Structure formats: C-alpha cells, structure tokens
Chains A and B, each alone.
Chain A
Amino acid sequence: MTALANSAGENPRPHQALAHGRVDAMAALRDAGITAAIAFGLFLPLIGFQTTVNGENALILITRWPLLLAVVAAVGIGRLGYSVLLEPRLRQRAMRPIATTPSALRTFVGQWFVPFGIAFVAAYPALVLATVGFSRSVKWIDNFGIQILIYVMLGWGLNIVVGLAGLLDLGYVAFYAVGAYSYALLAKTLDLSFWVLLPISGILASFWGILLGFPVLRLRGDYLAIVTLAFGEIIRLVIINFTALTNGYAGIGGIPRPSFFGIPFNADDNGFAAVFGLPFSPVYRVIFLYYVILALALLTAFVTVRLRRLPVGRAWEALREDEIACRSLGINTTNTKLTAFAMGAMFAGFAGSFFATRQGFISPESFTFLESATILSIVVLGGMGSQVGVAIAAIVMIGGTEIMRDLDFLKKIFGQTFDPTQYRMLIFGFAMVLIMVWRPRGLISTRAPSVVLKERKSISADLVKEGHG
C-alpha cells in the first residue's frame, strides 16, 4: 500500500491533486497574472483614459492610473482568490457522491417553504403597517410587494413557455404590452370595469400569442429565439407608430383606477375611506392592488400546477424532452406548442392589464426588450420549470433593484453624485456569473414528477432536457 502511494506520489496526476483540495500555487499565480493582464488590456482604454471638456470648452484627455491600477489589482486578486479558495471546494463538491437521502433540514424546508411563503405574502401588508407605520407603508407595499408580484406572475407565465415547453421566447413582453394596451384602450373608450376587462385582456393577449405563434413555432432553437425577439420589437414599434390608436411615445394617461367593487378609492364622500368610516389615505388602494396581484399570481401558479398534472402539461414537458418521440406517439406538436404559447401570453395579458390600472399611465417605454430579458433571466436563474425557484429569483432581482434605490448611505462613502441604481446591471451581471458557476441550471434545478406510483423522487437536472425550441 505504502509502495503504491509512494509511486503514485512521484508523479501525481494534476486532477488528483486538486481533487484532494491541494492547490498548485504556480498555476494559480500564473492564472491570476494572465487574468490581470487581460483586465489591463480591457480597462486601459475604458478606465485609464477619460476625455472631458475643460473651462475653455476644449476637449482634453485625463488619465486615471490609480483607478486603473486598483481595478486591475482587484481582478487579479479576485482570480487568485477564486483558484485558491473557491475552485478546490467546487471541485470537491463535484467529486462527492450525491446524497440519496436529503438531510432532515432540507426535507423540512422543502415541505414547509410553500405554505409558509404564501402565509407570509398574505400577511405582508399587515406586517409592513405594523413595522413602518401608516405613512411610509405605501412605498414598501407598492414598490416592493406589488412590483415583485408582477414579476413573479410574469416569470410564472413565461415559465410555462420556456421552462415546461422548452420554447425560448425572447419577446414575452409583447403580450404584457398587448394586455396593458387592451385594458387602457377598452377601459377609456367603453368604460368597462377592471374585472370585465381582465379576462378580455388575457384573451386578446393569448389571441396574439396564437397569431404570432402560428408562423413562428415551426422554427426551433436559436431561430425561434431570434424571431420571437423580432416580434416583441414589432409590437413595440407598432405601438409607437400607430399614434391614432395608441398615442405613440406620449402614451396613454388617465387610465381608470380600480375600485373596491364599485367604491372608488378617493377622498370623496362616496369614496372607500368615507364609506368605511376611515380617515382618507392612499394606503387602502395600494393594499387592495396588492391583494389583486397576489390573487392573480396565485391563480397563475395554481393553474400551472394543475396543468402540469394534465395531459397537456405532460405533453409540454415531453415536447421539451423529445419532439420526434412526441409525434410518434400521436401528439399534435404544433397545437401543443401553441397552447403553451397562448397560455403564457394569457398570463402576461392579465399582468399587463393589472400594470395599466396600477400605473394609470402606460407608454411604449415600459415594454422594451430589457423587460423581456429581465423576465427571462428570472426564469433562468430560478431554474426552468420550478415555480418556487422563479419566485425566489423574482424577489432577489426586482427586490434587489428596489433596495438599491434606497442605499443612501453609499452616497456618504462615494460622494453625492453616486447613484447606486446605475450599478444595477453590473451587479446583476455578477449575480448571473455566480449563479452560473454555482448552479448552472438555476436555483432549483430538480424536476418534480407530475404523477407518482409509489414514491416521490425528484429528478436530477442532468437528465432533464432544456428544450430546443
């Protein structure tokens, strides 16, 4: 045994050494050096030089060597830290056999996460009122609660298309826009209530989903992604240029606000506050809107969970796994894809009409590609097909953005001109890189089977396909 170990020790294979958590110091230093050199090359023109206008209105070049040096050093040290501290651990984790029985804590969290989450979300307005008080609660319920829930709902809607059916849709925001404009235009011209227009907006959006889906869904993979991206842009451009109907860039204002089953939320004598004998406050409307979007989001989740256990949901997942096998089993793949597209579009339409009534004003600015990208990254980060994962990703991404607006103390450190929201995308980029290193298939990547004979086992992400469109 010793002889064997010795002979092996003379010529250790590199991956064996790493597997035991040892680090090749020279290789790590070399790596860090190369990374720093690349960073220097990249950041020399970007950070090292800055052109600015001096007092005589002439363009001058200033150099920022200390800043450049700091950034390059940070990158180099970061890379060194990664290869010395993080990489051996990641490697060890990959070598470790996968535990067949999850730990007790994991089972407990898995069992109680969803009920606890729903209870927390339902009690959230009350918790906010109790902790920050009446006057400051609007911001917390509106900017955090409602905003996050809209994206949770959009994420769950897109999850049907991308996560279950495996169709990469980069133009999802188009259906959100159709829902919002449907509500805005119909409410202003026909004077119908929110509850009548909500299903109509959803139906119109899913109608557009089918209309766009029909020519598009014969494409697969990258081609499908590009064409859906184009369709998203086309709808936005139509909204901008069809000024007679949509008022173009100026947008539509004065969209009817929701009422509490006929009682408006205003300061009048017949307003909500007066009727219920409460002092007037905008909080009531915000709380009402919060529960409306919560109900809509839960409806989305409920319908998706139900659909997964129905033949149509299983056909979506089968389509993601192997389209040709689906056809050999007599499944009409075009119709199946269209239902996924239409269903996803419908929920986007619901969310869009809610968005319109909440804002009271909509314009094409709200429906840019960035929105599609945000929703898609929520789905991808959360783990395609996982409802809980998508909800967590939406909370982190949208909540994170909102929190960054509040980091006033950073101004004390970096000066008054520092605006943390400007660094939002940078931080998202970092978050994405970290997630892709740590969990390449999203936060929750295992798949739960839709039907069980004896024992429920979750399916490892290695076996689940991502879909080819």
Chain B
Amino acid sequence: MTEKNESSAAETLLRVEHLTMRFGGLLAIDDLSFDVGEGAITALIGPNGAGKTTVFNCITGFYKPSSGRLALRHGDGTVWNELAMLTDSGARSVTTGNGALFLLERMPDYLVAQRARVARTFQNIRLFPGMTVLENLLVAQHNRLMLASGYTLLGVLGFPSYAHAERSAIDKARDWLDRIGLAARADDPAGDLPYGAQRRLEIARAMCTDPVLLCLDEPAAGLNPRESAELNALLLAIRDEFRIAVLLIEHDMTVVMEISDHIVVLDYGVKIADGVPDAVRNDDKVIAAYLGVAEDQVGEAEAEVGL
C-alpha cells in the first residue's frame, strides 16, 4: 500500500489534502483529498451545489481555504521530499535544483497564476469583451511581456527587445488562434464572438499563460454536440501535445467519460468516489447521488453516503 502511494506520488502534480472550506455556518467542502496526475485529465463532478467551483476557487487562490494543504510541484517527483519542510517553514514555495514546490493555499490569486502557473477559466465566461481576440491573448502573456518591456521603461523608450518579445507573443497567439479556428476573427472584439467560440478563446487565453495545470470550470456548458466534440479534441491535444494536466468541472457526461483519465465525485462537499471512469460509472453512491434512490432505501443510502 505504501509502496503504491510512493510510486503514484512521483506522478502527482497537485495534491489536495484535507481541504475544508467554511462560509459562516455552511460547510462547503469537508475534508476533501485527491490527487491530480501529471499529464492527465482529472474530472471533478457532482450534482449542483456540491462544492466543485469552491474547490477551484481554493486551488486558484480566489478563496483562502479554512484548512487543508494544496501542494503543486514543478519539475521532477523528487521535490515532494521537500513537502514537510516547506509546510513547517511557513514559506509559500521552495525551489530546488530539480524543480519547485508551491503551497497554493498560502498564495494570493495572481501569484498562483504567475508563479505556480495554474491557469483557469470561469463558469460564466470572463473574457475582455471590449478588447480584440488578439488583445485577449496578449493580456494573458502580460508577465513575460512586462519583463521584456523593462517594466514599461524600455518599452516607452522604444527598445528593440520589447518589439521582439511582442512579435513572439503575437506568434504564439496566432498559433492558438489557428488551433481553435479563430484566426480569421483575430481583430474582432471578443464580445462579438458566438458563445462556443468565446469558450474556446477563454481556454486558449488560459493556455497562453504557459500553465502546468489548467483548471476548466464547465467548458462544455452551452455547447452543441459538434462543438462538444471539438472541445474534446482540444483538451486531448492539450494533454497529449503539451503534456499539461487538466482539472475539469463538467456536467456533460459524454465529455467526462470520454476524455477523463481520473474522476473525483463530490456531493455536499464530501468526496463520494474517486477512480477511473468505468469504476465511477458503476459506483452505487454516485448513482444514488445523481439519480436518487427509492424511498424505502433512503435510510440505507444515507448511512452509506455518511449523512
């Protein structure tokens, strides 16, 4: 058992341990632990109000969890050895020769994106509607461009280093626009795009920040079947070509079952299942949570779920 944990630990990218989030008297997440594997698609599913988005907000630094540890690694698996030391030191992160380790619960939201390189999208799309598609993708590369513009000073004076950096940023943006099929609309305002294109653009924008972990909050919501299939292809490309881990909240089970490597099921803030798609699909607790149970079985089911 211990051995198995050790071996999977080397492939773990993000480790969520005993995450608890309280809003006043409401316990939104109760002692949740799961792992996100490197280069894998992990789906976080559950009925409405299960606390999925709250988990996202904790991971990306928008909420500060009431308790728990959220550790993310860069580089190879050996940096996990630093975890205990980092936790005790009170620091946000530690960098070793082989990589770095970050404790996300200690970092403000923008540093989670900037340093720990966790990118996210939102359930209700949050593009910059009055800016063009291209500008949206350039804003995502802000920190690199800021450095190249000498924190604005060299840029105002017109140094060539910035022009060069901007060109490569535009190239990267164009690359993503080709990939999501929006190259022809690069100079249109993002608010003018149809809904499905806005969803794809938001994913491309998140990818332009060069993340190690991409958190997608219901990327398939409001998409038609064809767009859904395109989304699946895009996410698989992100996983296989870029080797980027994806953490996904989704209600669309065709998306979830088709592309996920690993599924975590949440109900009322509690983890009720965790495993590969086939195992989760046949799990009694999951079926009960989604479909409900017959009235005479309620007591039994509640006991089983732990309520």
B111 → A minimal CB distance (Å): 8
Q: How far is the CA of A451 from the CA of B170 in the complex (A)?
A: 9
- In the complex, the answer to whether A322 meets B127 with C-beta atoms within 8 Å is yes
CB-contact partner of B131 in A311, A317, A332, under 8 A? A317
- In the complex, the answer to whether B209 meets A329 with C-beta atoms within 8 Å is yes
Is A307 at the interface (CB under 8 A from chain B)? yes
Q: How far is the CA of A190 from the CA of B142 in the complex (A)?
A: 42
Task: Name the residue on B nearest A458 (C-beta).
Answer: B189
On whether A325 and B128 interact (CB within 8 A), knowing A307-B152, A314-B138, A318-B139, the answer reads yes
Residue from B140, B166, B170 whose CB has the most chain A CB atoms within 10 Å: B140
- In the complex, the answer to whether A329 meets B113 with C-beta atoms within 8 Å is yes
Interface residue stretch chosen among A4-12, A243-251, A369-377, A459-467: A459-467
B34 → A minimal CB distance (Å): 22
Is B130 at the interface (CB under 8 A from chain A)? yes
CB-contact partner of B187 in A318, A330, A331, A453, under 8 A? A453
Residues 62-78 of A, flagged 1 when their CB comes within 8 A of B and 0 if not, give 00000000000000000
Which A residues are CB-close (under 8 A) to B110?
326-327, 330-333
A residues 303-325 in Cβ contact with B at 8 Å: 303, 306-307, 310-312, 314-315, 317-318, 320-322, 324-325
Is B271 at the interface (CB under 8 A from chain A)? no
- In the complex, the answer to whether B156 meets A453 with C-beta atoms within 8 Å is no
Is A439 at the interface (CB under 8 A from chain B)? no
Task: Name the residue on B nearest A314 (C-beta).
Answer: B139
A314 → B minimal CB distance (Å): 5
Q: How far is the CA of A207 from the CA of B293 in the complex (A)?
A: 65
- In the complex, the answer to whether A329 meets B142 with C-beta atoms within 8 Å is yes
Is B277 at the interface (CB under 8 A from chain A)? no
Which A residues are CB-close (under 8 A) to B126?
322, 324-325, 328
- In the complex, the answer to whether B142 meets A465 with C-beta atoms within 8 Å is no
- In the complex, the answer to whether B129 meets A465 with C-beta atoms within 8 Å is yes
Q: How far is the CA of A314 from the CA of B127 in the complex (A)?
A: 14
Q: How far is the CA of A331 from the CA of B115 in the complex (A)?
A: 11
- In the complex, the answer to whether B135 meets A463 with C-beta atoms within 8 Å is no
CB-contact partner of A460 in B113, B156, B189, B205, under 8 A? B189
Residues 432-469 of A, flagged 1 when their CB comes within 8 A of B and 0 if not, give 00000000000000010111111111011001110000
B11 → A minimal CB distance (Å): 26
Residue from A311, A314, A449 whose CB has the most chain B CB atoms within 10 Å: A311
Which A residues are CB-close (under 8 A) to B139?
311, 314-315, 318, 326, 329, 331
Task: For the complex, count residues of A whose C-beta is within 8 A of B.
Answer: 39
Which B residues are CB-close (under 8 A) to A447?
130
Q: How far is the CA of A459 from the CA of B127 in the complex (A)?
A: 15
- In the complex, the answer to whether A310 meets B152 with C-beta atoms within 8 Å is yes
Interface residue stretch chosen among B35-43, B143-151, B279-287: B143-151
Is B234 at the interface (CB under 8 A from chain A)? no
- In the complex, the answer to whether B145 meets A311 with C-beta atoms within 8 Å is yes
Is B119 at the interface (CB under 8 A from chain A)? yes
- In the complex, the answer to whether B109 meets A327 with C-beta atoms within 8 Å is yes
- In the complex, the answer to whether B127 meets A325 with C-beta atoms within 8 Å is yes
CB-contact partner of B189 in A326, A455, A456, A463, under 8 A? A463
Which A residues are CB-close (under 8 A) to B142?
311, 314-315, 318, 329-331
- In the complex, the answer to whether B131 meets A456 with C-beta atoms within 8 Å is no
Q: How far is the CA of A312 from the CA of B119 in the complex (A)?
A: 20
Task: Name the residue on A nearest B210 (C-beta).
Answer: A330
Which B residues are CB-close (under 8 A) to A464?
129-130
Which A residues are CB-close (under 8 A) to B187?
449, 452-457
Is B60 at the interface (CB under 8 A from chain A)? yes
Residues 369-395 of A, flagged 1 when their CB comes within 8 A of B and 0 if not, give 000000000000000000000000000
Which A residues are CB-close (under 8 A) to B135?
314, 317, 449-451
On whether A328 and B122 interact (CB within 8 A), knowing A321-B131, A457-B187, the answer reads yes
- In the complex, the answer to whether B134 meets A453 with C-beta atoms within 8 Å is yes
Which B residues are CB-close (under 8 A) to A317?
128, 130-131, 135
A202 → B minimal CB distance (Å): 14
Which A residues are CB-close (under 8 A) to B186?
453-454
Q: How far is the CA of A467 from the CA of B192 in the complex (A)?
A: 19
Q: How far is the CA of A463 from the CA of B152 in the complex (A)?
A: 27
Q: How far is the CA of A317 from the CA of B135 in the complex (A)?
A: 10
Q: How far is the CA of A10 from the CA of B115 in the complex (A)?
A: 68
Which B residues are CB-close (under 8 A) to A303?
156
Q: A-side interface residues toward B, CB under 8 Å?
A: 303, 306-307, 310-312, 314-315, 317-318, 320-322, 324-333, 339, 447, 449-457, 459-460, 463-465
Q: List 24 A-B contacts (CB under 8 A).
A: A303-B156, A306-B155, A311-B139, A311-B145, A314-B139, A318-B128, A318-B139, A320-B130, A322-B126, A324-B126, A325-B126, A327-B110, A328-B60, A328-B119, A329-B113, A331-B143, A449-B134, A449-B135, A451-B170, A452-B134, A454-B186, A457-B188, A463-B129, A463-B191
* CB-CB nearest 8 A-B residue pairs: A464-B130, A330-B114, A330-B113, A321-B128, A463-B191, A311-B145, A325-B126, A453-B186
